[in-house]
Structure 1
């Protein structure tokens, strides 16, 4: 039985929840999780939420029937001087996605991903990029949704989706 959920645009007030989703994404392996403050104060993760919501930022939040947040997907334009894990170039937004563990493998991530890809296309972007660790099961989701590997760095794949 699939739980019903809806997708809403992310707002400036969602910054804290997006931080939670960065933590979920960083701790995807399970086991002993890294502390929230450790992840969110790290420059490599802070760039994904610092100053949310900037003019070029866009995202969506999945919400269950009771109004509880389940996951989020968003993108940011990152500068060459402070690139993200999946940086391709300054004109290509980098996608970040996180889903609470209880909602993984229930279609939440796929629905968020599709909505964000559609939005990026509607906003005139030609490509979206992301980074995923080689052994992360989400690689299959990204491939099935049209992302292709364009590079490898430190056990991570950079993947790009060409929007048509």
Structure 2
């Protein structure tokens, strides 16, 4: 597999693919794949894509040389009344990222993460948050990109990066 990819802004039509990436993120453990409907039927995961590209949403999609999407990173502003796993407060967007397994460890996740954080900073946000389950190999990527654990919960950590 060639590791050449490009990154483009996410558009409204990417909603289904973003749902696929929520499923990839939820199924990070080898051999622990839950079917799409099982992951997306619950409000805990569905909130990350429902009504995609509403005001305050932003994201990027990585595509392979054939234009097929292979990963995505995006953020949403979730309300205090319906917080996401990585909610830290009003005015702090929550980041979601997913990469197809065959494309992991090829720089796709890092490139998406960097692009999204640059965008969030340029949009005026001071911080961005995410949630990661303990043991997920992505934790080391987040730490290397400046995220720090601000809260530990039931098997997961909430991480925040200062953008300015």
TM-score by length of 1: 0.98
* Residue matched to 2:15: 15
Q: How does 1:114-129 map to 2 (within 5 A)?
A: 114-129=114-129
Counterparts in 2 of 1:114 and 1:79: CA distance versus 1, 3 Å: same
Give matches, 1:66-85, under 5 Å: 66-85=66-85
Aligned partner of 1:64 in structure 2 is: 64
* Offset of residue 30 of structure 1: 2.2
Q: C-alpha separation between the residues in 2 aligned to 1:32 and 1:25?
A: 11
CA contact (8 A) 1:63 1:71 kept: yes
Displacement after TM superposition at 1:2 (Å): 5.5
Q: How does 1:1-164 map to 2 (within 5 A)?
A: 3-164=3-164
Deviation at 1:3, TM superposition (A): 1.4
Measure how far apart 1:41 and its partner are.
1.0
Question: Could you say what the CA RMSD is over the residues aligned between the two structures, in angstroms?
Answer: 1.0
- Uncovered stretches (5+) of structure 2, i.e. residues with no partner: none
Cα displacement (A) at 1:4: 1.0
Instruction: Count residues in correspondence.
Output: 164
| Structure 1 unaligned blocks of 5 or more | none
